[in-house]
Structure formats: C-alpha cells, structure tokens
Amino acid sequence: MHRHFDEELTALRENLLTMGALVESMITQSSRLLDAYAVEGAAKIETNEREVNSLHSAIDDLCIRLLVLRQPAAADMRLIAVALKINGELERIGDQGINMLQRARQLDQPGERPRIDLGPLIHVARAMVADSLDAFIKKDVALARRVLEDEKSADSLRDQAVEVLLAEAEKRTYSFTHIVQQILVTHHLERIADHATNIAEDVIYFVQGLDIRHHRMD
C-alpha cells in the first residue's frame, strides 16, 4: 500500500546520503591538503562543512517532525531513530575533516621535511565511512559487520603510525610541532573510523533490531 510517509522516509535517506557524500569529500580533500596545502582546497572544505552543518539541523528537524506527526513503529521507527544518530555521527566526521584541514595548515611550513605515509590509515577510515553508508542504504548487515572488523585495522594502523612518529621524535628528525600535528592527524582519522563503526552498529539495529553496542550481543 502506497504511503505518503514512505516519500518522507525516502527524503530522509537521501538527505543523509547527501551529507555522507559531503563528509567523504571532506576527508578526501583534507587528506590531499596534508600532502600539498592549497588555499582553494581549504575553502572548498569549509564550504562543505557549512553545508554539512545546515543538513545536520535540517535532518534533525525532519526526524523530530516525523516522530511527532507520524508516530512511527517497527522498521519506520528504527529508521528514524538511527537517522538521528547517523546524522550526529556524520556531523562529527565533518568536524574531523575540519580538524585535519587545520593540521594541514600547521604542517604547511617552509623547509619542513617529508612526512610519514598515512595513506593506508586514510584509505581505511574513508572506506569505512563509505561502507557504513552503503550498508545503511542497502540494509546490508554483512557489510556493516565488515566495517566493525575494519575498525581493528584502523586502530592497528594508527598505533603503527604513532609508533613511527614517536621513533622519529626520538631521533629529532622532525620538529616537535611537526610530530604533534601528525599524531593529531592519526587521532582524527581514528575518530573518523570510530564514527563509521557507530554508523555500522546503527545499521545493524535498523535492519535486525539488534543492539550490538558495548558487546551486548556477545
């Protein structure tokens, strides 16, 4: 049976996807700026962040309106409940994109020596965000669970990067500021992976009604 409510739920999903595309783009662009800082790239990220913040408010408003006016149950209720949460996770991923932009600015100092390669960590964190959103749209629990597994890789890559950076700090091959900024970048990427993990957990609740957070299903 056709419901007008379904059109509103579709609009909600589409808004979340738009927001997801924006934050993915922010991660990609801020990662590039770590290698080669460019003013135009920075401006693009800041524009994206304003759009993300605007969508964050709009999606919250839509969710609250649907909760109040439609009084949803079952799968409809679960969709709106997780949309509220995913909305918050995406906004925070956007914040991490801005944080990475600030690190890129700090690292863009004349005479600085080459940086260590954070490519694998960047790749995993970005893929986790993309996969978690893909799992949400496709209601793909297997993919969501893969994101949960990927968090371990993200953590390992972060630990390895920090280890290398600390070793470099001992050797004094980089400035203290440089090391701190790079460690902060690894922290931002690890937080992005955490937010993607939270989205994947929300997807599992949305599809199966299972709350697996905090190892509740162990």
Partner 1 sequence: MPGNTPMTELVPKHLDSASSTAPPSVKIRVRRLNFYYGPTQALKNVDFDVVTNAVTALIGPSGCGKTTFLRTLNRMNDQVPGARAEGQVHLDGTDIHGPDVDVTALRRRVGMVFQKSNPFPKTIRENVAFGLRIAGIRDVFVIEEAVEESLRLAALWDEVKDNLDGLALQLSGGQQQRLCIARALAVKPDVLLMDEPASALDPISTGKIEELIEDLKSRYTIVIVTHNMQQAARISEYTGFFYMGELIEYGPTLKIFTTPAEKRTEDYVTGRFG
Given the structure tokens 């931002």, which residue do they identify?
A: 188
Minimum separation from the CB atom of position 6 to partner 1 (A): 9
Minimum separation from the CB atom of position 70 to partner 1 (A): 9
Binding mask 19-58 for partner 1 (x = CB under 8 A): ----------------------------------------
* φ, ψ (nearest 5 deg) of residue 88: -65, -40
143 contacts: CB under 8 Å, gap ≥ 6: 131, 134, 135
Minimum separation from the CB atom of position 65 to partner 1 (A): 17
Contact between 201 and partner 1 (CB under 8 A)?
no
The tokens describing 106, both together, are 């700090």
Size of the site for partner 1 (CB under 8 A): 13
Give the C-alpha separation, 195 to 126, whole Å: 11
215 contacts: CB under 8 Å, gap ≥ 6: none
- The closest alpha carbon to 24, from 134, 186, 105, 139, belongs to 134
Contact between 209 and partner 1 (CB under 8 A)?
yes
Select the span of 1-9, 129-137, 180-188, 196-204 touching partner 1 (CB under 8 A).
1-9
Minimum separation from the CB atom of position 39 to partner 1 (A): 50
Minimum separation from the CB atom of position 80 to partner 1 (A): 12
* Smaller CB separation from partner 1, 67 or 183: 67
> Of 64-123, which residues contact partner 1 (CB under 8 A)?
71-78
Minimum separation from the CB atom of position 11 to partner 1 (A): 17
How close are the terminal C-alpha atoms of the chain, in Å? Answer: 38
* Smaller CB separation from partner 1, 80 or 189: 80
Max intra-chain CA distance, the chain = 69
With contact defined as beta carbons under 8 Å apart, do 188 and 96 qualify? yes
Write the single-letter amino acid at 102. Answer: Q
> Which residues sit at the interface with partner 1, rule CB under 8 A?
1, 3, 5, 71-78, 208-209
